[in-house]
Structures are given as structure tokens and as C-alpha cells.
Amino acid sequence: MSAAERVFGLLLRAYPAEFRAAYSREMMMVFRDQRRAGAGGVRFWAECGWDVVRSAPPLRVESWQSRWQMDNQLTEGAAMRKTMAVLSIVIGAIETLNALVEFRAASAVGLDTTALVIVTLGVLVGVLLIASGIVLASRSPKSQVLPLVAAIACLAVFALIPRMSIFSKMLGIGFPIALLLFLRFGRGQPTRTVA
Amino acid sequence: MAKATETGRTPESHLPLRPATFQILMALVDGERHGYSIMTEVSERSEHTVRLGAGTLYGSLKRLLEDGLVEEAGERSDAELGDERRRYYRITKFGLSVAKA
């Protein structure tokens, strides 16, 4: 690399990193072509400098804007994830407690098989929801699978079990649907435009 | 009424074009070109009154690509300029309608 190319390489540092990643090779090639065609001297370098002064700041501003928009989208996604994680843990804990209370009540009058199955399923769903909340909060790469399983299990259990209050059913069916919608649409993945 | 693109923008919504952008579009009307070829074509078309620098050229190309007025046409070498592979650009139909508008 010639001294002139090294200087031009330094000038390119005025441009944002993503722009350089996309175009610096081509810009250097153009510079080499210009040099081969006889460009040089004070006027040429003044034009190069002026071109950088004119074109780099708007590209920097565009880069900051696009990064800012992306950060905002990520922040919204993170807030939604946190909300879903907290709701999942709280509802899971309520479901588990509710199942245990029902188990205690049923034990007092004699526990039949159906009641035992309902209590077991209730505890299972509650624990699954708590685990989903923890996974969602931890941003684990596997955070899709467990909440999905929990939401489907929750829906299945609460749709099938008839002995539940309307409130329990609304919570047990409404939340998994919200969780499924969040997993599908609300994970905060930015719809990124090429910067 | 001019036809809108997939992004819902009409050719008129891109007007007025910056002089550099217009010159680049005009340079691409005749066919695909790489960066240096665009630069020399713009200079010749304007009888050397418009001289695009590399930053202005690629900054404009970046925006033209994002707006769908120009698209990449692959990489290949230019026999006149050596073996280095160069990225070629071509004007899109939408770009043509913007240049005509």
C-alpha cells in the first residue's frame, strides 16, 4: 500500500464503521483508479478532503439515527420480555399455590383420582410457567422453547379441566395466549434497514 | 398517478433529487457501471463541471440502494482497469421513473 493510499485510508476513518465495512474497499479502489489516471497534487488532495468534510457528517448522523431507532426497538422488546417474565412467574406461583390449596381442601374430604390429576396438572403448569418466567428473564437462547411448551400445556390443561372458576380460566387461558402472541410478535427483534 | 414502490413511495416523493444523486442516476441510464465508471461518466456528462468524490459517490449510492432506485448487479473485473473485482450498479425501473419525473 502506497503512502497516498495510507493517507486516504486515514481519511476514510471519518465515515461510520458500517459504511466503511460496506464501501471502503470500493472507495479505495476508486482512489487507486483516480491515481492511475494521473490525479494527484494539492488540488486533488484538497478535493478529497473537502469530499470527506461534506459527505462524512451526514452519514454519521444517519448512522446514529438508525442505531438510536434500533436501540429503541430493542428497549421496547426488552421491557415487554421483562413484563412477560414477571407475569409468568407471578401467575405460575398463583397457579401452584392454588393447586396446593385445592389439594389440601380435597384431602380433607377424601382425595379421588380426578382431583389428584387436576392438582398434579395444576402444579405442573404452575412450575412450567415459573420456569418460563426465569428463562425469559435470563434471555437464554433457549428462551423460546420452554415458554412455548408452558403456554401450550397451560392452554390444554385449563381448557380441559371443567372444575375451575371463570377467573382462573380467564387467567389460565388468557395469559398463555398473550405469551404465545409475545413469542410470535413481541420479542423485540428490530426490523432493521441496511445501515 | 405514478406507481408507488413496495415501500409505498411514489417517484415524486423522492423529488427534488440532490445534484449528485441525479447525476449518478443519469450515468446509470445507459447500463450497469462500477464506482469509478460512474465517477468518470458524471464528469464527462457535465463537461467536467461536476466532480464526484468517493465519499459523495458511495454515500449517494448507499441511499439510492436503500430507496430502491439502484440495485447491485454483481461483481466482476473491468478489463480496462485490471483484475480487481468491482461491484456494479444498475438503475431500477423505479429509479428510472424517478429520474424521468
Tens-digit pLDDT profile for residues A99-120: 888 788 877 777 778 778 878 8
In this structure, are A158 and A81 located in the same domain?
A: yes
- Provide the pLDDT for residue B3: 52
CA Rg value for chain A: 30
ipTM, two decimals, is: 0.86
**Least confident segment among A74-88, A132-146, B55-69:** A132-146
Q: Which residue of A has its CA nearest to B81?
A: A33
Report the relative pairing of strands B85-91 and B33-34 from DSSP bridges: antiparallel
In this structure, are A175 and A84 located in the same domain?
A: yes
- Provide the pLDDT for residue A164: 63
CA atoms within a 13 Å half-sphere pointing along the CA-CB vector of A93: 7
Q: Look at residues A22, A45, A66 and tell me which one is the last residue of a structural domain.
A: A66
Mutate to test the interface with B, among A8, A55, A191, A192 (most CBs of B within 10 A): A55
Residue A182, phi then psi, degrees to nearest 5: -60, -45
In this structure, are A85 and A61 located in the same domain?
A: no
- Provide the pLDDT for residue A66: 84
Spell out the residues 6+ positions from residue B76 whose beta carbon is closer than 8 angstroms to its own.
B85, B86, B88
Q: Name the amino acid, one letter, at A170.
A: M
pTM for the complete prediction? 0.59
* Chain B residues touching A193 at Cβ < 8 A: 66
- With beta carbons less than 8 A apart as the criterion, state whether A137 and A85 touch: yes
- Grid cell, residue B13, equals 416523493
Q: Look at residues A66, A89, A120 and tell me which one is the last residue of a structural domain.
A: A66
Is the residue at A194 inside a domain? no
Q: Does the N-terminal peptide bond of residue B16 adopt cis geometry, omega within 30 degrees of 0? A: yes
> Cell numbers 500500500 label which residue?
A1
The residue range of the domain holding A167 is 72-185
Q: Which residues of chain B have pLDDT under 50?
A: 1-2
Chain B residues near any Cβ of chain A (below 8 Å):
34-36, 39, 51, 53-59, 61-62, 65-66, 81, 84, 86-87
The residue that leads in pLDDT, A20 or A85, is A20
- With beta carbons less than 8 A apart as the criterion, state whether B45 and B30 touch: no
- Provide the pLDDT for residue A188: 44
Query: How far is A130 from A128, CA to CA, in rounded Å?
Result: 5
Q: Which residue of B has its CA nearest to A30?
A: B36
DSSP A58-93: HHHHHHHHHHHHHHHHHHHHHHHHHHHHHHHHHHHH
Domains in chain A, number:
2
- Provide the pLDDT for residue A191: 41
Q: Which residue of A has its CA nearest to B78?
A: A33
Distances (CA, A) of A194 to A22, A39, B89: 10, 33, 17
Is the residue at A160 inside a domain? yes
- Provide the pLDDT for residue B5: 55
Contact A55 B51 (CB under 8 A): no
H helix intervals, A1-143: 3-12, 17-36, 41-109, 113-138
A152-189 pLDDT per residue, tens: 888 888 777 766 666 677 777 888 888 888 888 765 44
Min CA distance, B27 vs chain A (Å)?
Answer: 16
- With beta carbons less than 8 A apart as the criterion, state whether B53 and A48 touch: yes
In this structure, are A91 and A56 located in the same domain?
A: no
In this structure, are A35 and A84 located in the same domain?
A: no
